[in-house]
Chain A
């Protein structure tokens, strides 16, 4: 048994909404799991179950209120993603952990090609080579040269999502956190994403992904977690887990 890449124990998240008279919500009430190197872990559950909160806690976009998430970095050091210094998180995000949100948050007024290439440049890569690889990745996702030179803020939702995926996979990281990256895509483009994610998998990238689309999940995930009301109700190989009915219903909303 290899050492897990990520070992999550008892993550808790509570949000106090001061502007709503201190109303409290608890999206995560103690979530634990291990992720092996190269494993794809799918997360499913009804909306409000805490799926996005879990991913955001691992990325430190949310501050967890309890638990640990011990990540084994490229240099072999164990880093608790929930408590590591901010500077460590910034560095890990730049070099080995990438988070793909549902919506593209690209800086404005930068062409799509450069948005994608900047990932490699920020890791110290050569700008010319970065742009070549960015062009290749975007093309593989159906974003042609004309779109590549325009600003993503002018793109459709589906095009923006593909730029987002391209950013994540132009230089596959060690750990990829995916938060519904294909929710606005049609079947044809989902297939393109599927193809490029598989390439990253083959390259050894471990992933934790939220997908509404059961087909994507079945084709990619090694294991699945079912989250309900902030707790893990099932965890196992994709074939052994009872996927609740709302997954496919949810996907239908988008297709």
Chain B
């Protein structure tokens, strides 16, 4: 496409000579195939040949490869790091994607077509056609109970999750509750136990029966997995110890006054602390008095 080379020229000499969206076509094709397989088998980890990226492994290379394999020149992209569009890492990733593709950058959840994220799902409900790409450090939910990758794979194949359940039981016995905070294990489509990436419990219910597509990419571990739209996603829970999200007991965001949001505590100069919404775009919208739909579950 001639428009591509034009765009690359426009974006400056630094990216001349690179492929569109940085990755070569073969790499993109492999990743797209892995995504398609992931869509066909929700929650199943699909291996892929994770490429070297211009950022270090552990900094979102899995998510970035998924984004680059899917992004087109007309996409509108947003990158968030723990809910924040303005962190150094988020900004750099967003610039890299935009500069190598000509895609439009945005901070607005509603406006984005592709959102790459670390550790959060936006508060604002995502709709059909939107894609959320989650960066994943440890894709194997059974890692804690089974060190062998091969053994864990056959446990998934046989749906042998009794040791996962045992770990939850032991947690309840020792701590009175399931202690997993971020990355609470979920059952996808009644078949595969999946690590939802280190999102807070607050975000877990958003995965269930959502309208958008969730993609998960682990660059270091070379795994891709998918929760397609309208897929059943349930946290593992005992009948008498039901799953519960974090509670903020009437606290509100110190900046925006938002109440229906995941809040994080940060120290203040006077030695105290304050609570603010971790989703900065959501906080901005609340502050601006916009109506924001946060009802993921309907």
Direct A–B contact in complex, judged by CB atoms less than 8 Å apart:
no
- Residues of B that sit less than 8 Å from A by CB: none
Binding site for B on A (CB under 8 A): none
